[in-house]
Amino acid sequence: MITEMSNAGVDEFIQVVSIGLIVVGFLLNTSRYLTAIELCEECLFILKDRAAIIDQEFTKSFYERIYFTMWKACSLISDNTNAIKYAEKVLQIYRENGERLEECELSLELGEMYFHQCKYPEAIQLSEKALLISREIGGRRGEAYCHLSLGVVYQSVGEYEKAKEHLEKALSIRKEIGDSNGDAASYLNLGTVCLPNGKYEKAREHLEKSLVMYNEIGNRKGEATSLYYLGAVCRTFGEYEKAKGHLEKSVVIFKEIGDRNGEASSYLCLGTVYQAVGKYEKARELLEESLAIQKEIGHRKGEAASYVSLGSVCGAIGEYEKSREHLERALVIQKEIGDEEGEGISYVNLVTLYASVGEYENASDYCQKSLAISKNIGNRRILAFSYYNLGANCYCLGKYRKANEYNQKALAIFKDIGDRDAMARTYLKQGAVEHAVGNFVKARECFEKAIAISKEIGNGDIKAAGCSNLGVLLIDQAEYDRGEEYIKRALVLSEAVGEIEKQFQLLIIMAHLRMKERNIREAISYFLSAIEKSEEMRGCLRDNDQFKISFTDHNIRSYRDVSALLFATGNPTEALYVSELSRARALADLMSAQYSVENQISANPRTWAGLEGIVGKKCNRTCLYASYHFESIYLWILKAGRVTH
């Protein structure tokens, strides 16, 4: 009788747990992940309570199914800590059961989870274990995938030669077994591994091959991913129109196949492209779209990345407080999910932000934090950028000897890992240090090295910066003609890649050069051209009044420079127009939009015929207009439709 009752109890128990697991499956399929996890925990409680009366092997199979389900559910909500915990339990059961293929596959997946938490040694260990199992059981396809995983991890820690070696082995095996999809994936990953070390042409070559192959086999996700990375390559080259084209295509495909994460990533990259060409409002829209999707799908790492880029856009137009808020939100998320690599990147961005507003002590603190994290996780690239930022910060503080030390440390690592883009940028920084201490020969060598590298890797942005810096150096050495030649060359390069902000800065340099030469007419001409560029960037901000106010505050000095110059040269009316361009612009735009009134003031001097007429028609009294610049106050008295004093 007792045996019968026990058997009945066992059957009832098995039925309860089995039904529970069926319900869990339904909950997972309907995206109710947290409820599914809670039900799994209840099943575990029942299982542990009754484990003694059931066959051990039978119990183990239940444990395997429950832990497997909990692992999948936690992965879907980006709860990596618990996902790893449950995956480890499943892996242990596979090992005990001698399920070698399952152990191999789960080792790779678990390695990928550790990889996303920046636990690179654990990821490498698991991938190498999976590789050994694949060789033992003769799984050539699995062996190729193991090499692919190891290549991706080594790429992330800056071991680019090891990464390349594993990725090439993966490609070789896949060619051997005729795995077209795998071939395409290998070319895709070889392309991405070439990006960090500045081998952009090679990256483009591999990515174009992967794109063709994915097209041929009809793999839409692979096609979209290849387009995404090609967009990133074109952005690095300064080929912004091509970058936009690739990224917009990737967005379309990701939308078609319902890949929300891919869609968000493409919006994120596209936002950085628009930021690079000074279209900040469009950049903000795209980044906020990316952020909304990342929040919707619960992709915390992507959410943090979107906040980082939004912080960068806000910083670029002088919205420093908003920038800090976005970067600190990113940091909170990165700490919560254990994304130390992302945390290091946020610290690097906070360094740039605090340096921009002259808070060098705060910038130094964040430099030290990024330095500590990079050493902790063994990411040499972030370590190098930490040294790079420490060098830049010391330069701003006038600590040139220390800046030189940090630049040399950064340069040594960038050379070692083969990051040629970063090498060129470090030479630019080091050139600025040498220039500041009067070592003009060394400064020139640094700028010329930066220009040479930029030519080799095809980076128009760095080439323009190198020419600009070299031009300023030559001007300081009173070599005005040669200096002007380099500045003009930089201007052409900036125009070619569509960098409006860089054009603005270069035109200001040319204006100051003409002032040094006492050529006031041409100085004014360059100033006005610069203001037209500033107004072009401002126009891209569209109806975002807060961005417009911050942007104008950020660039107001140039407006005031040219206004003062016009005033000093006997052109008070033109000076008034330029002064008006620098203030109350957001209000004028708002009134123009709401009341369909044409905005009367523009950066084009040919339109400067309306202000006096407006004063005369609308206001039959004397008006006083005031402005200031450094220690000077400028006053205009307007009466009867003209400036009288």
Is residue 512 a contact partner of residue 284, using CB atoms and an 8 Å limit?
no
- Residue length, the chain? 645
Measured in whole angstroms, the distance separating CA 612 from the mean position of its chain's CA atoms is 47
pLDDT tens readout for residues 562-617: 777 777 777 787 777 777 766 555 445 554 555 454 554 555 554 454 555 545 55
Query: Amino acid identity, residue 470?
Result: L
Region 237-264 average pLDDT: 90
List, edge to edge, every strand of the sheet that includes 642-643.
623-629, 632-639, 642-643
pLDDT band at 4 (very low <50, low <70, confident <90, very high): very low
Whether pLDDT at 160 is above 60? yes
Burial category of 60 from C-beta neighbours within 10 Å (exposed 0-12, middle 13-18, buried 19 and up):
middle
Is residue 189 a contact partner of residue 152, using CB atoms and an 8 Å limit?
yes
DSSP 184-198: HHHHHHHHHHHTTTT
Q: What is the 3-state secondary structure (H, E, C) of 579-640?
A: HHHCCCHHHHHHHHHHHCCCCCCCCCHHHCCCHHHHHHHHCCCCEEEEEEECCEEEEEEEEC
CA distance 163 to 487: 40
Helix axes 220-237, 240-257, angle to 10 degrees: 160
Region 226-246 average pLDDT: 87
In this prediction the pTM is 0.63
Is residue 7 a contact partner of residue 50, using CB atoms and an 8 Å limit?
no
Extract the tokens encoding 495: 């125009």
223-258 as b/e, with b when 16 or more CB fall inside 10 Å? bbbbbbbbbbbbbbbbbbebbbebbebbbebbeeee
pLDDT at 545: 54
Q: Who has greater pLDDT, 256 or 572?
A: 256
Q: Say which DSSP state 54 is in.
A: S
**Most trustworthy range by pLDDT among 104-113, 321-330, 350-359:** 321-330
pLDDT at 614: 46
Extract the tokens encoding 434: 């040498």
pLDDT at 465: 78
What percent of the chain has pLDDT above 90? Answer: 17
pLDDT tens readout for residues 432-453: 899 888 898 999 999 899 888 8
pLDDT band at 265 (very low <50, low <70, confident <90, very high): very high
Tell me how crowded residue 516 is: count the other CB atoms within 10 A of its CB. Answer: 11
In angstroms, the first-to-last Cα distance of the chain is: 115
CA angle 568, 569, 573 (to 5 degrees): 85
pLDDT at 225: 93
pLDDT tens readout for residues 481-526: 888 888 888 888 777 766 666 777 777 777 777 777 777 777 777 7
